[in-house]
Structure 1
Amino acid sequence: MLPCITKKIIGIDCPGCGLQRSFISILNGDFATAFTTYPPIYTILLLLSFLIFQNFIKIKYANKIILTLTLTTVVIIVTNYILKFI
């Protein structure tokens, strides 16, 4: 797996640390480990899936859905990052 440049240079985890391991866990079918490794993985995948799906089928409130999913993902990422240091 790719090393985290931030962790190598500064010595602390970045907000995305665990994303690769979490994604690999999903590919292996280990969904619980994926969540415990990096909780925002599911909202990120949901957002990416919606963005791809929205390119093929126009959805009436797509902008609001994208904004909501993005804000939810950001809040979960920031919360997860803060909880790493507590």
Structure 2
Amino acid sequence: MKILPFLLLFSLDDFMLPCLNKKFFGIECPGCGLQRAVSLLLQGEFRQAFVMYPAIYPLIPLLGFLLFNNFYPVKYANKIIITLTITTVLFILSNFIFKL
């Protein structure tokens, strides 16, 4: 249990990766803001997470359903996965175009 106080000294923000696309080319990639949005969600800042990366909310059900379907197969899983994927991609692309 000596490691727990040590881990409390760090936050999730200390381990975030920089966006190399933004660093080298000056343009944000479609995934820019995802890490910060996850960090904000874990802190309970739901509105700020949506402002940071709107695709976080359709991405959560997609990942949750993929995990659930892996253990408990669902009858119409393909249709559900396609619908959630299209919704997530639309959110990601619209956010990317809006940031341009």
Q: Partner of 2:62 in structure 1?
A: 47
Q: Which runs of 5+ in 2 are unaligned?
A: 1-15
Does 2:14 align with 1:31? no
Q: Partner of 1:76 in structure 2?
A: 91
Does 2:45 align with 1:59? no
The alignment's TM-score, normalised by the length of structure 2, stands at 0.82
The Cα shift of 1:23 comes to 0.3
The Cα shift of 1:4 comes to 0.2
The Cα offsets for residues 27-57 of structure 1, whole Å up to 9 and x where unpaired, read as: 1111111100000001111100000000111
- Answer with 1 or 2: which has the greater Rg: 2
Q: Of 1, 23, 41, which residue of structure 2 is paired with 1:8? A: 23
Q: Which runs of 4+ in 1 moved over 2 A?
A: none
Overall identity of the aligned pairs, in % = 58
Task: Kindly report the root-mean-square deviation, in angstroms, between the aligned alpha carbons of the 2 structures.
Answer: 0.7
Q: Which runs of 5+ in 1 are unaligned?
A: none
Q: Partner of 2:35 in structure 1?
A: 20
